[in-house]
Amino acid sequence: MPATVLVLVETINDCLWILENQGFHLILAPTPSERADAIKAHAGQINAVLTRGPLGLTAEEIAALPHLEIICVIGAGYEQVDLQAASNRGIAVSNGAGVNASSVADHAMALLLSLVRDIPRADAAVRRGEWPKVMRPSLAGKRLGILGLGAVGLAIAKRCANGFDMSVSYHNRQIRSDVPYSFCPTPTELARHSDFLVVATPGGIGTRQLIDKAVLQALGPEGFLVNIARASVVNTADLLQALEQRSIAGAGLDVFDDEPRVPDALKTLNNVVLTPHVAGLSPEATQATVELVGKNLVAHFSGQPLLTPIALPAPN
């Protein structure tokens, strides 16, 4: 009997044929109401759940699925998956770290270029029949700071160092000996040495509000912030204040605290560029993501090690 996968992710439908071709039976539940109904109606047959970090899977949901064996999370972050509950049940968890790194890095660069060169306002002006000549900074030769030098951070660093001749610094949980970039011991120190600060670290308790008032002050009135990671890494109230008071030059944001709701105060500012959490979305990234999920599912149900396992806490 084929394994049944509950799919909570709303952005990968075009590539779900990959899993179906591997023999998996899929139950699609991309909305909260469909999710609750699917768990209630199909609890006895669900063997795997496909989710993403912000959607997660709660302890209560895990408890309601007696035959659940594996949780596959697309993307690097898994902050809303109850790892303790999974561990207690012996349920495996995998993620997709690095699979969409190129797409996210491209989007980070798009946000940075749009923000620093003020492309949205220039475009709007031309459409109104105006022809403003506004002086904006260049990216070439500037100082880039990256918070989180994983696969996405590395992809951004390479684009900036090789394509724009930027000097690159980073803050990470640990120093990397395999990169030519400068390590900064704290986020504040990183901001102090950056013209552009890009947030590329996973979400979760360990990274919550690493970017606060002190970091933004260190970034300064000519500094720009880009966040393509998780909104939880940035203190939104501090960021709003910094943007309103022009104590930083601007921000490019793809992630928000209560998606899809975006604070009205952000929408009214002319020194921000906003996108609807789409950095990791591209046909290439989506296919690679689903292919990795399929490989992890096949490995698990054939008794083989997962390709990208998440380390779980000890059962209690």
What number does CATH give the domain 4-99+283-301? 3.40.50.720
Rounded CA-CA distance 21/28 in Å is 16
Q: Give the percent of the chain with pLDDT over 70.
A: 100
How do residues 269-288 score in pLDDT, each as one tens digit?
A: 999 999 999 999 999 999 99
Mean pLDDT of 228-255: 98
The reply to whether CATH 3.40.50.300 applies to domain 101-274 is: no
| Residue for token pair 């349920």 | 91
First to last CA, the chain: 32
2 band by pLDDT with thresholds 50, 70 and 90 = confident
Question: 259 an active-site residue?
Answer: yes
Point out the catalytic residue in the list 89, 117, 121, 277.
277
Question: 277 an active-site residue?
Answer: yes
Q: What is the pLDDT of residue 1?
A: 56
Calculate the average pLDDT of the chain. Answer: 96
pTM summary value: 0.92
Point out the catalytic residue in the list 35, 52, 171, 230.
230
How do residues 76-87 score in pLDDT, each as one tens digit?
A: 889 999 999 999
Point out the catalytic residue in the list 60, 222, 244, 259.
259
SS (H, E, C) the chain: CCCEEEECCCCCHHHCHHHHHCCCEEEECCCHHHHHHHHHHHCCCCCEEEEECCCCECHHHHHCCCCCCEEEEECCCCCCECHHHHHHHCCEEECCCCCCHHHHHHHHHHHHHHHHCCHHHHHHHHHCCCCCCCCCCCCCCCEEEEECCCHHHHHHHHHHHHHHCCEEEEECCCCCCCCCCEECCCHHHHHHCCCEEEECCCCCHHHCCCECHHHHHHHCCCCEEEECCCHHHECHHHHHHHHHCCCCCEEEECCCCECCECCHHHHCCCCEEECCCCCCCCHHHHHHHHHHHHHHHHHHHCCCCCCCECCCCCCC
- R_g of the chain, CA atoms, integer Å: 21
Mean pLDDT of 41-68: 97
- The 10 Å CB-count burial string (b at 16+, else e) for 103-135 is bbbbbbbbbbebbbebeebbeeeeeeeeeeeee
The domain limits of the chain are: 4-99+283-301, 101-274
296 band by pLDDT with thresholds 50, 70 and 90 = very high
Q: Do domains 4-99+283-301 and 101-274 have the same CATH topology?
A: yes
